[in-house]
Amino acid sequence: TCGDLKMQVPFPFSLLCLQVIKCKAAVLWEANKPFSIEEVEVAPPKEHEVRIKIVATGICRSDDHVITGALVKPFPIILGHEAAGVVESVGQGVTSIKPGDKVIPLFVPQCGECKNCLSTKGNLCSKTDLGTGPGLMPDGTTRFTCKGKAINHFLGTSTFTEYTVVHESAVAKIDSAAPLEKVCLIGCGFSTGYGAALKTAKVEPGSTCAVFGLGGVGLSVIIGCKVAGASRIIAVDINSDKFAKAKELGATDCINPKDFNKPIHEVLVEMTGQGVDYSFEVIGRTDTMTAALACCQCNYGVSVIVGVPPAAQNITFDPMLLFTGRSWKGSVFGGWKSKDEVPKLVADYMKKKFVLDPLITHTLPWTKINEGFDLLRTGK
């Protein structure tokens, strides 16, 4: 392998590395089926591409949305988008990354050229494969094959594999001392929730917040609200088993909608007098999105949609909720400019500005990925 070659050679070292790698990957051949552990071929990185050895990857609800069909993507596919690894090789023209660097793949890239990248107001690079993207690299082809068939990419990252290929704009170099099995969460879940509070909502000291959904992203919203100085953080979930962890991370109140005979937004308005200053929907359901909006203070409350909305569903709501002054916002990857700010988030973690360990409930060998998704679906 390239990493074992230590002799000096009179021609570019990178030429020796650019070979097909055969490795194991979790391939999803069709919807509503288990992952299949397969041997795949991972092609060399082309111009401005990077091939990464994945060291750790997290399971995110967005991956499960593809399995169930709530997020429509082409099959067969290699899912996964929250990870950390080490650069194995780079394609021609890559300048920001070199072999051996520790990196985090970015499902929201940062090309630095599109209107959103150039604006200080946005972070959703036009090169992202979010939505109904084709599941291919920017040049319209795939780097994965299995049993002679082309395998689609997911969000430009595809981390449920021992090796993956991403575009240079979709990878961030991080601190070489960072523990990859922890900071992989900065690739999606933590950054998404933390940024929703700090960058999208801009939670203020002394404010009151409500967080709907206490998965890893919802707990990260709580961390962000606490760091921002919120005086009251109300955690909302139908699984009361999650309340202890929510309180550990900063929630001041925990409520289960099943314990009340009235709509949850009415409960929250009564608890707070006029409604919360900031609310966050971190589930991906249309009914909780409208409930989160309705529980906000009527004139200046801000509600943020963080959970991925289900495909082919629309929201019906009373427009008076917005007419009186509430703001309804969306947040993708917490509003962070990914390539610029992911390294800074890793640096903040290394300085102990926030914790990640409480967000990790299980550590499994990746071949048990189907068991991991069972744990996700049962709220464990």
Residues 323-341: pLDDT tens digits?
A: 999 999 999 999 999 999 9
Whole-number CA gyration radius for the chain: 21
Closest CA to 370 of 36, 61, 44, 90: 36
pLDDT at 14: 44
Active site residue 17: no
- List residues bridging with 90 in a β-sheet: 50
CATH fold for domain 23-189+336-378: Quinone Oxidoreductase; Chain A, domain 1 (3.90.180)
Active site residue 225: no
Active site residue 65: yes
Among the listed residues 117, 126, 184, 188, the single catalytic one is 188
CATH fold for domain 202-330: Rossmann fold (3.40.50)
Among the listed residues 2, 14, 48, 60, the single catalytic one is 60
Q: How far is residue 80's CA from residue 107's CA, in Å, rounded to a whole number? A: 9
Q: pTM of the full predicted structure?
A: 0.91
Among the listed residues 65, 153, 167, 265, the single catalytic one is 65
- The domain ranges of the chain are 23-189+336-378, 202-330
pLDDT at 8: 43
pLDDT at 314: 85
- Segments of the chain with pLDDT less than 50: 1-16
Active site residue 265: no
Active site residue 48: no
pLDDT at 308: 81
90 contacts 150 by C-beta, under 8 angstroms: no
Among the listed residues 17, 23, 36, 81, the single catalytic one is 81
Q: How far is residue 104's CA from residue 173's CA, in Å, rounded to a whole number? A: 7
For 6, 157, 186, 194, 277, the CA distances from 301, given in Å and listed in that order, are 61, 35, 28, 19, 5
pLDDT at 321: 92
pLDDT at 11: 40
DSSP-based three-state secondary structure for 88: strand
pLDDT at 107: 96
185 contacts 360 by C-beta, under 8 angstroms: yes
